[in-house]
A and B are shown apart, each in its own frame.
Chain A
Amino acid sequence: MAIPTTPIATTEAVEAARSSRGSALVRQRTRSAWFFMAPTLAAMGLVAGWPLLRTFWFAFTDANLTDLGAAQFVGLGSVLRVLQDPDWWTTVWTTFRFALVSVGLETVLGLIIALALHAKFPGRALLRASVLVPWAIPTVVSARMWAWMFNDIYGVINAIFLKLGLISESMAWTADPGLAFSAVVAVDVWKTTPFMALLILAALQMLPDDIYEAAKIDGAGPIRVFFQVTLPLLRGPLMVAIIFRMLDALRVFDIFFVLTGGSTETMPMAGYARQRMFEFQEIGMGSAAASVLFAIIALFTTVYMVVGRVKVVEEA
């Protein structure tokens, strides 16, 4: 599960400390800054920097799980093997389709839920809390809860759909590759829409009231107000939320693993990389796949930072 780290607004505290104090004090504070940063830097280097560099290194080798020390440098050999593997491209297609479809649905549903929660009605706090429930449930648990609901023989979804006449016979929701994709999307949408809705709700609550009053005086109907006032004002926050969710969706692993097991037709890129590393023991090729995935995410992160108008650059 991911939690957003988002741009921070500037305060004047630092400037004041710099200008009004003596230089000895400034030097002492600067020294202490590095002292305070040191443990975190060491921890990040150990758990993020070093493993990432090692993964990149493995990507250029033929490393095998049984003896990592015997890895030989093979240049782009492992990367090329990944790029020439049709299974890899299947997982790329699956992952991007998954990211686009589920984030699209989440945005629409999130908007609807946010608009509903933005209205004032009795029991609003309770409904807002209940919307948080899917978000708090571990992904693995929600995937298993849905797998049971999607069960081909005893599942409640087949029972309801049959009763409503939506389907004429029970469907194997998680076994059939085409249906399994929809099942995975359904679980992901259920689990992450709350996050989307709450981000949008927070943005909605900060929109100025006077614009709406002006629109009311002009006699604009609620649908026109939504498309011509609310949606344009929400564009910035929506873009941040969408890109953030896209990043999350591109690295998806758990939902697919639990719902569809290990079939290649329904496997995300992260699943492919992990399968190469630990089931086929090809650390080199798996790391190459993981590095390609990293590059894709890095590209999106850059977009996120630009669109999210990260303030750190200006203020430092």
Chain B
Amino acid sequence: MKWLKKVSFWLLLAVIAIYTLFPFYWAIVSSLKTGSALFQVDPWPKSPAWGNYVAVFQGQPFGQNILNSVIVATAVVVLSLLLGLTASFALARIEFRGRKVLLLSVLGVSMFPQIAVLSGMFELVRWLGLYNKLPALVISNLILTLPFTVWVLTTFMRELPKELEEAAIVDGATPWMIVWRVFLPLLGPAMATTGLLAFIAAWNEFLFALTFTQSDSVRTVPVAIALFSGGTAFETPWGLIMAASVIVTVPLVVLVLIFQRKIISGLTAGAVKG
């Protein structure tokens, strides 16, 4: 009985691992197949070929698309962290009237469906003259990243001991100095976690990027991959799509493996302490 239990437990673990990893494995295998090999269901490529990885950068500005995504996601992270740091200092450390309302509205904004701001944002983007330009995506992505950055940083900042701050106040430090000199150095790990989550959110964003850009060279990676099409309407270039998918996923997977503990703590920060 004991061994049966053990075997079924390991079987369960194997099923979980296969379930979570197989689609990614299959994308890698397919990306290494070219020509007719792609249409044979072989569990591994019989003659692996890099052709798709070369071809994906030719014929469409995929390199530019990656660069666009990096620019947008980086700008979004920097802006969110800067704004989030100062706001969370006020929310976590200062007692003032209206704090409750502000916290509730931050929480409320994080629940906004993107579609509910789409037409208003479209008008704003056009009015600012940013249609089909990357800054349009930077400002619109803030709606996804800023509320949760503020929220998570507030959670982290509350846990720091008040003696630190009191010592700084006694030394005559202004609130501004307290934020930069006392809290920022201590918040390194928290900033890394929130920054990483914000980066992934901006990197994966689709609806705004699809709506506010038009030319191939301004598109971000998700839009480019969603709209990849072959020479004819009936011929989807699956090999290319899989190669592109693997290219943009590998960095994320590496990040996840390196920072898995931080990501998990960030995702669940406060979630179950209720």
Q: Which residues of A contact B (CB under 8 A)?
A: 1-9, 11-18, 21, 25, 28-30, 32-34, 36-37, 39-41, 43-44, 46-48, 50-55, 58, 63, 68, 112-113, 116, 119, 121, 125, 127-146, 148-149, 151, 153-154, 156, 159, 190, 194-195, 198-199, 202-203, 206, 236-237, 240-241, 247, 250-251, 253-254, 257-258, 269-270, 273-274, 277-278, 283, 286-287, 290-291, 293-294, 297-298, 301, 304-305, 308-310, 312-313, 315-316
Distance in Å: Cβ of B226 to nearest Cβ of chain A: 5
Query: What residues of A have a CB within 8 angstroms of the CB of B151 in the complex?
Result: 5-6, 8
Query: What residues of B have a CB within 8 angstroms of the CB of A148 in the complex?
Result: 26-27, 30, 238, 241-242
Distance in Å: Cβ of A32 to nearest Cβ of chain B: 4
- Per CB-CB distance, the 4 closest pairs between chain A and chain B, nearest first, are A316-B100, A51-B120, A54-B120, A251-B113
Distance in Å: Cβ of B6 to nearest Cβ of chain A: 10
Query: Does B148 lie within 8 Å of A5, measured CB to CB?
Result: yes
A-B contact count (CB 8 A): 351
Query: Given known contacts A39-B87, A145-B24, is B120 in contact with A52 (CB within 8 Å)?
Result: yes
**B: number of interface residues (CB 8 Å):** 115
Query: What residues of B have a CB within 8 angstroms of the CB of A13 in the complex?
Result: 92-93, 158, 162, 165
Query: Given known contacts A4-B271, A113-B16, is B119 in contact with A138 (CB within 8 Å)?
Result: no
Distance in Å: Cβ of A160 to nearest Cβ of chain B: 8
Give bound CA distance, A11 to B91, whole Å.
12
Query: Does A290 lie within 8 Å of B226, measured CB to CB?
Result: no
The answer to whether the Cβ of B34 comes within 8 Å of any Cβ in the partner chain is no
Distance in Å: Cβ of B73 to nearest Cβ of chain A: 11
Query: Does A195 lie within 8 Å of B260, measured CB to CB?
Result: no
Chain A binding site: helix, strand, loop or mixed by DSSP?
helix
Give bound CA distance, A21 to B104, whole Å.
27
Query: Does B113 lie within 8 Å of A270, measured CB to CB?
Result: yes
Give bound CA distance, A290 to B142, whole Å.
20
